[in-house]
Amino acid sequence: MPTVLITGAGRGIGREFARQYEAKGWRVVATCRDPSKYDLEGEVYPLDVTDPASIAALHGELDGEGIDLLINNAGIYGPRGAALGGIDYGAWEDVLRTNVLGPVRVAEAFAGMVGRSDLKIMVFISSKMGSIGDNTSGGGYIYRSSKTALNMAVASLSVDLSGRGIICLLFHPGWVKTDMGGASAPVDAAASVAGMCAVIDRATPADSGRFFNYDGKQLPW
């Protein structure tokens, strides 16, 4: 039975990943800041990706195991609508800690467990808003920059972990109906996650470091 570890599994896309992998018969190791709010069956552990001690505690719980698939999903948007002259730099730092440092810390901590598994895949939930080539509308300084930085970090991880056979994938999940995406978003979480799972299922080392839309289309950097 393969094992998937999911960050930010308490709601939205993370919860849907947990639901779909449970349905596939995988062992799901779900993590979120407040496990009491996790409403699916299976294992759930507390994890705050901005807290090195929290990551270390989870590592201690799982030490010695293999993790076939690590899904770095936890993330925040930060304040919306911030324009030049009104940027909250403290909030910007908080978003970078969650969206960039957090996933890299988790990847660094669990690389050994992923490397000893059969599948050896790390997934990182990014956003098309982090694509420099796609940015024709400006704005979104805080969230955009956090996802651009994540993309570059994962590009480096894909090189540095290639010797261990680990595949690193970046995804834009679409504009999804979640707490972050809002009720007017055109893509539901089930369709988004099903699409990403299909890409994960057929991933090869040649895909490592690439940036995909949830439907498998490669996106510009």
The CA dihedral of 175, 216, 190, 37, to the nearest 10 degrees, is -70
Per-residue CA distances from 177 to 1, 13, 63, 100 (Å): 31, 9, 35, 23
Q: Nearest-CA neighbor of 72 among 7, 13, 116, 24?
A: 7
Q: Which residues, listed in sequence order, are joined to residue 170 by a DSSP beta bridge?
A: 124, 211
Catalytic residue among 21, 38, 143, 214, which?
143
Query: Which H or E run contains 151?
Result: helix 141-160
* Annotation marks residue 143 as catalytic: yes
Distance, CA of 168 to CA of 103 (rounded, Å): 12
**β-pairing verdict for 3-6 and 121-125:** unpaired
The catalytic site residues sit at 143
